[in-house]
Amino acid sequence: MKETLHQAFLGSLVADAAAMPVHWYYDVQSLDRDYPDLAVYTAPKNPHSGSILWRSSYKPRNQQADILHDQARYWGKRGVHYHQFLEAGENTVNYRLAVELHESILRNGGYDPTEWLQTYIKLMQTPGWHRDTYVEEYHRAFFDRLASGIAPENCGIDDLHIGALATVPALLAGLSKVESPDPERWVHIVSQHVNLTHQNAHALKASEALAQILIDLAHGLELDSVLENRTSAWKSPKQFKAWSDFEDRTIVGRHLTPACYLPDSFTASLFLALKYSDDFKAGILSNALCGGDNCHRGAVVGSILGGLNDIPSDWITSLKSTYRISKKGNPNPVPTQPLSGS
């Protein structure tokens, strides 16, 4: 189980880094023109023809709310890539946080929401810790609320974006290295963790489903049966397979939105994961080339494919986050106590 969840975590990081240069391209013709030979990994380049930063502004209420620091000056300008300063193989901010979450679990011997919030706040308030020019609304709202005097545990907002799932594979991988397997407890922890920032029913439901899928796969169950049991609220494997007769961009782009909004973004991710269940490389590149919020769909596509397949070794060694990730945790995982009320 531990190895499968570790590979799922790595898969999510690879999927994010692969999609990073073409993140939030909604015009796929522009995507193909700007990145005609997309491969893992590619550096982003300006101008980003689909960037909407020109019509956005960032004005934190005070220093405590400032999580963009010197990057704020690029807001309001045309053609600015959301990840313009990242290198090929580098992860976007949500997945950098995923790596830090994983390491904090190993360091502390478990998951502590209070400790994680302190780490999250410290990292995001540190100039230069991340190099993204854009950060999602939930981050900006969290720190605005924090700066207004609201307690950290109450700073989450009603956000239904698939970015809520970015840290789920990391959380499970970390728990698997310090605790004995306890699926019910782990799904509960995932929900508790996501709720710190995303207080939305769709986000919580999708995060719990992803956790259950990855745990089932780590137990050796077949993906078809797992999806049949865990994703009936979205679509069935039968529907996903029927869609496989169409071009991926027809399903993710026309039938389903390629944007970040749940539940469509989760459904699109499951479709790609099932279609490419035996081909990691093809699935990762297809997700990237569908555009839209491909980085955050990568939390689902990359983790499922990583849990099912070997990840090409050069994709791991070229991933900038690899050096930060500890593979080993507690050599003698501790038994966990039953959840209160369970």
Separation of CA 60 from chain center:
25
What is residue 252's three-state secondary structure? Answer: strand
The pLDDT of residue 239 is above 80: yes
The pLDDT of residue 100 is above 80: yes
Residue type present at position 74: Y
Is 270 a member of any domain?
Answer: yes
pLDDT at 151: 98
Token pair listed for 280: 């990691």
Is 143 a member of any domain?
Answer: yes
**Distance set, CA 47 to CA 15, 126, 239, 334 (Å):** 23, 27, 38, 51
What proportion of the chain, given as a percentage, has pLDDT over 70?
95
Is 282 a member of any domain?
Answer: yes
Domain count, the chain: 1
What's the CATH number where 261 sits? 1.10.4080.10
**Distance set, CA 148 to CA 63, 124, 135, 141, 169 (Å):** 11, 17, 19, 11, 32
Is 89 a member of any domain?
Answer: yes
Q: Which residue has the tokens 């946080």?
A: 97
pLDDT digits (tens, 9 = 90+) for 184-233: 999 999 999 999 999 999 999 999 999 999 999 999 999 999 999 999 88
Q: Is the pTM of this model over 0.75?
A: yes
pLDDT digits (tens, 9 = 90+) for 173-189: 999 999 999 999 999 99
Is 193 a member of any domain?
Answer: yes
Domain span at 107: 2-320
Is 330 a member of any domain?
Answer: no
Pick the closest to residue 141 from 166, 161, 165 (CA basis): 161
Residues 8 and 173 sit within 8 Å (Cβ to Cβ): yes
DSSP for 149-199 reads T--GGG--B---BGGGGTTHHHHHHHHHHHB---HHHHHHHHHHHHHTTB-
Is 328 a member of any domain?
Answer: no
Is 97 a member of any domain?
Answer: yes
pLDDT digits (tens, 9 = 90+) for 21-71: 999 999 999 999 999 999 889 999 999 999 999 999 999 999 999 999 999
What is residue 261's three-state secondary structure? Answer: strand
Q: What DSSP character marks residue 68?
A: S
Residue type present at position 241: K
pLDDT digits (tens, 9 = 90+) for 123-146: 999 999 999 999 999 999 999 999
Q: What is the mean pLDDT of the chain?
A: 94
**199 φ/ψ angles, rounded to the nearest 5 degrees:** -95, 65
DSSP for 23-62 reads TT---HHHHHHH-TT--SS----S--TT--GGG-----SS
pLDDT band, very low/low/confident/very high, at 326 (cuts 50, 70, 90): confident
User: Looking at residues 99-106, what average pLDDT do you find?
Assistant: 98
pLDDT band, very low/low/confident/very high, at 329 (cuts 50, 70, 90): low
